[in-house]
């Protein structure tokens, strides 16, 4: 056995530890693994973790967390800085749900009538020039969804969160809209996918804008929730709000590690919701154990199984658009963009149950409750022929 040979490449830049937390049943595309390994070779990278929703992204994979030292990488966070999930406890019993009536009333895309700058200030944010978009849900996989409790698995934690089985919930998935995109573009214009030395003025400036986008995105989810609640004639209380696209400093043993999350929920900020696709359950989970193994991160959703193009092609043969506006839970989907309806259909995503089971078996979470959709808002506009 030889112990002396060193790969020339590792002698120059030792690759980070690469770890994928997924059972064989959680199929992970080869391209996503290649992307994870490529990230692991970036200067300063120490740990690259793929979560069970790992799938290929634009250059860097989604459903992953990366820890580096000395350098940070805006490109790994991506353009939707601050994107995440907020959950509201709705002051309305399930039996009062009027999905069809509500469906006609909701508008989460038109400009908000109120004072966006003041709303942002109330949530600790400063004006950025993007306030016209505050309170709009955005496109792609973003949504606002009224939910009901399907099953409570951990009554003690469920009750400690002030939740009640008979009450409706509201889950909002949205981000920083044009703001995060503009911040990343400024970086990419100069550095492409390259990183920033952590001690530089440029890194400091990026982090300041990044943190502003995280605050903006959180305020945005709060305003989307406020508009949705107003639309259904209810009030609500924010139960949790977590961001799954960010870079944050972690201080340990006198060193600073830069924790990048790209489609990875935090393990260290209390309970999180891992949403299923619109036709599947969402999971309210409590992080447990130690987060070291998973870079203090969790899966952020089911994870795409088919590309948007493939989903359109395959699903248009199997389903009508009309049939996709109803789910197996008898819930409604407001999605007047026909292509998006196919792109976001449940079969385009992995099975959320398996993704969550993988997290449970990895000792990362305990399931508190499952949540079923009642009414999902995707989009009203853009009716593509």
Q: Which residues are catalytic?
A: 300
- The verdict on whether residue 302 carries a ligand-binding annotation is yes
- The verdict on whether residue 231 carries a ligand-binding annotation is no
Q: Which is nearer to DNA, 148 or 244 (CB)?
A: 244
Number of H helices, E strands in the chain: 12, 17
- The verdict on whether residue 133 carries a ligand-binding annotation is no
Cβ 224 to DNA, closest distance in Å?
Answer: 11
In DSSP terms, which residues pair with 36 in a beta bridge? Answer: none
Q: Which is nearer to DNA, 300 or 332 (CB)?
A: 300
- The verdict on whether residue 245 carries a ligand-binding annotation is yes
The gap from C-alpha 217 to its chain's centroid, in whole angstroms, comes to 12
- The verdict on whether residue 294 carries a ligand-binding annotation is no
Cβ 142 to DNA, closest distance in Å?
Answer: 5
Counting Cβ atoms within 10 Å, is residue 66 exposed (0-12), middle (13-18) or buried (19+)? buried
Tokens of 135: 């309170």
In DSSP terms, which residues pair with 249 in a beta bridge? Answer: 258
- The verdict on whether residue 176 carries a ligand-binding annotation is no
Q: Which is nearer to DNA, 115 or 292 (CB)?
A: 115
Cβ 165 to DNA, closest distance in Å?
Answer: 30
Q: Which is nearer to DNA, 266 or 303 (CB)?
A: 303
Cα separation of 146 and 373, whole Å? 6
Cβ 285 to DNA, closest distance in Å?
Answer: 21
Q: Which is nearer to DNA, 174 or 370 (CB)?
A: 174
Beta strands in the chain (DSSP E): 17-20, 45-55, 62-68, 71-72, 84-93, 143-152, 167-174, 196-197, 236-243, 245-252, 255-262, 264-266, 272-274, 282-287, 297-299, 332-335, 365-379
Cβ 63 to DNA, closest distance in Å?
Answer: 11
Under DSSP, the state recorded for 30 is H
b/e for 250-275, b at 16 or more Cβ within 10 A?
Answer: eeeeeeebbbbbbbbbbbeeebbbbb
Distances (CA, A) of 294 to 64, 67, 246: 9, 10, 16
- The verdict on whether residue 59 carries a ligand-binding annotation is no
Phi, psi for residue 343 in degrees, rounded to 5: -60, -35
Cβ 61 to DNA, closest distance in Å?
Answer: 13
Q: Which is nearer to DNA, 47 or 315 (CB)?
A: 315
In DSSP terms, which residues pair with 173 in a beta bridge? Answer: 85, 143
Q: Helix, strand or coil for residue 13?
A: coil
Q: Which is nearer to DNA, 45 or 376 (CB)?
A: 376
Residue 311 belongs to what H/E stretch?
helix 308-318
Which chain residues interact with DNA by CB under 7 A?
79-80, 83, 129-130, 132-133, 138-142, 174-175, 177-178, 181-182, 382
Q: Which residue has the tokens 């989307």?
A: 224
- Confirm if 291 and 266 have CB atoms less than 8 A apart: no
Cβ 83 to DNA, closest distance in Å?
Answer: 7
- The verdict on whether residue 173 carries a ligand-binding annotation is yes
Extract the annotated binding site for GMP: 141-145, 244-245, 282, 300-303, 378
Extract the annotated binding site: 141-145, 173, 244-245, 282, 300-303, 378
């Amino acid at each position: 056995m030889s112990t002396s040979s060193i790969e020339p490449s590792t002698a120059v830049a030792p690759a980070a530890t690469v770890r994928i937390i997924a059972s064989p049943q959680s199929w992970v595309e080869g391209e996503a693994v290649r992307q994870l390994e490529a990230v692991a070779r970036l200067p300063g990278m120490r740990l690259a973790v793929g979560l069970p929703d790992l799938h290929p992204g634009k250059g860097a994979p989604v459903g992953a967390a990366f820890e580096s030292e000395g350098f940070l990488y805006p490109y790994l966070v991506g353009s939707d800085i601050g994107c995440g999930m907020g959950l509201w406890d709705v002051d309305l019993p399930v039996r009062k749900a009027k999905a069809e009536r509500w469906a006609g009333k909701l508008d989460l895309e038109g400009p908000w009538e109120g004072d966006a700058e003041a709303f942002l200030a109330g949530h600790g944010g400063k004006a950025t020039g993007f306030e016209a978009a505050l309170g709009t849900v955005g496109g792609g996989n973003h949504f606002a969804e009224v939910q009901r409790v399907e099953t409570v698995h951990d009554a003690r934690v469920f009750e400690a969160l002030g939740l009640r089985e008979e009450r409706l919930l509201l889950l909002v998935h949205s981000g920083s809209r044009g703001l995060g995109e503009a911040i990343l573009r400024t970086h990419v214009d100069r550095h492409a996918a390259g990183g920033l030395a952590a001690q530089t003025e440029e890194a400091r400036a990026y982090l300041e804008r990044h943190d502003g986008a995280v605050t903006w995105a959180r305020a945005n989810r709060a305003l989307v929730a406020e508009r949705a609640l107003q639309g259904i004639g209810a009030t609500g209380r924010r139960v949790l709000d977590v961001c799954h696209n960010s870079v944050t400093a972690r201080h340990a043993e006198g060193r600073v590690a830069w924790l990048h999350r790209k489609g990875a929920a935090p393990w260290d900020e209390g309970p999180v919701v891992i949403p299923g696709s619109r036709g599947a359950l969402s999971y309210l989970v409590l992080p447990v154990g130690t987060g070291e193994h998973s870079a203090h991160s969790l899966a952020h959703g089911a994870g795409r199984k088919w590309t948007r193009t493939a989903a359109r092609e395959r699903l248009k043969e199997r389903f009508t658009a009309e049939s996709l506006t109803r789910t197996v839970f008898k819930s409604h989907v407001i999605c007047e963009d026909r292509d998006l309806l196919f792109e976001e259909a449940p079969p385009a995503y992995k099975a959320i149950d398996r993704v969550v089971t993988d997290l449970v078996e990895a000792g990362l979470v305990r399931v508190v409750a499952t949540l079923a959709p009642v009414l999902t808002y995707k989009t009203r506009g853009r009716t593509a022929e």
